[in-house]
């Protein structure tokens, strides 16, 4: 028997959203993955590093999946529930977790790391990344590209202006990285299909990825959520497209 709108909302409003683990969405949403395999590529670079920094680690899940960590590993995170989770996950592996507000400066000395990584950073402070890298060191990151999941964003917020739609453009990332003294050695981008099979999956996603619809609450968008529930029930999954890009940059010697 199909679950009611009220049942789906009640469940999605109460499920915990700390960390960066989306396993709760299994069977309720799908997201096509980029072809390059970020975690595998990050693991290869971690295995060669001596001191590494993971910026905005979330709950530490991605870093914890690396087969071989360097002798020195530090992770930063700003959101207190994620800091607590990352500490539980990463401390047993020998990694140090530092609470940091994601504002410059990074709380580390210049040239402290030969590898800096970040998966889906909210903000990228290129000059700080360049500062904490040793000469010849590498920044490696998978990032959210322009207008990602905007079918869902614009369903709730309406059409977005062009300057908002083009934010997080990989060409802008290249220019800013180079201006900070880094040489971009790899830059790739892909658009990937995402499907939401019920309104509960949408609520969970927007509670977790809080910058998509800022200030999102079920009460505020109750009418649109009910309309979305009816649409999914009659037409099938809500389809959106995520934008991802991979960037690797090296500090000049």
Beta strand spans in 93-152 (E): 96-99, 113-119, 133-144
Q: Which domains does the chain have, with CATH numbers?
A: 5-251 (3.40.50.150)
pLDDT tens string 12-69: 999 999 877 899 999 999 999 999 999 999 999 999 999 999 999 999 999 999 999 9
Q: Structure pTM?
A: 0.89
Dist CA 103 CA 193 (whole Å): 32
The pLDDT of residue 2 is above 80: no
pLDDT tens string 149-208: 999 999 999 999 999 999 999 999 999 999 999 999 999 999 999 999 999 999 999 999
Give the alpha-carbon dihedral of 16, 17, 23, 25, to 10 degrees. Answer: 90
Q: Assess contact for 146 and 165: CB atoms under 8 A.
A: yes
Per-residue confidence (pLDDT) for residue 76, from 0 to 100: 98
Dist CA 145 CA 245 (whole Å): 6
């Amino acid at each position: 028997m199909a679950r009611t709108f009220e049942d789906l909302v009640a469940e999605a409003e109460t499920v915990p959203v700390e960390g960066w683990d989306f396993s709760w969405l299994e069977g309720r949403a799908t997201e096509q993955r980029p072809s390059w395999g970020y975690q595998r590529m990050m693991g290869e670079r971690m295995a060669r590093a001596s001191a590494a920094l993971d910026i905005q680690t979330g709950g530490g899940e991605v870093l914890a999946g690396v087969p071989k960590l360097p002798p020195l590993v530090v992770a930063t995170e700003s959101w207190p529930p994620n800091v607590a989770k990352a500490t539980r996950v990463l401390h047993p592996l020998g990694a140090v977790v530092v609470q940091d507000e994601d504002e410059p400066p990074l709380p580390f000395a210049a040239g402290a790391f030969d590898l800096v990584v970040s998966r889906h950073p909210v903000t990228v402070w290129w000059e700080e990344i360049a500062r904490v890298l040793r000469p010849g060191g590498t920044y490696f990151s998978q990032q959210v590209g322009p207008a990602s999941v905007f079918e869902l964003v614009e369903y709730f917020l309406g059409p977005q202006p062009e300057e908002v739609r083009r934010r997080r453009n990989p060409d802008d990332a290249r220019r800013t990285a180079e201006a900070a003294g880094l040489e971009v050695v790899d830059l790739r981008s892909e658009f990937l299909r995402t499907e939401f099979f019920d309104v509960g999956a949408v609520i969970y996603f927007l509670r977790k990825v809080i910058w998509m619809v800022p200030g999102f609450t079920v009460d505020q968008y109750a009418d649109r959520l009910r309309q979305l529930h009816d649409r999914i029930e009659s037409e099938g999954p809500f389809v959106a497209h995520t934008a991802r890009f991979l960037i690797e940059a090296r500090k000049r010697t």
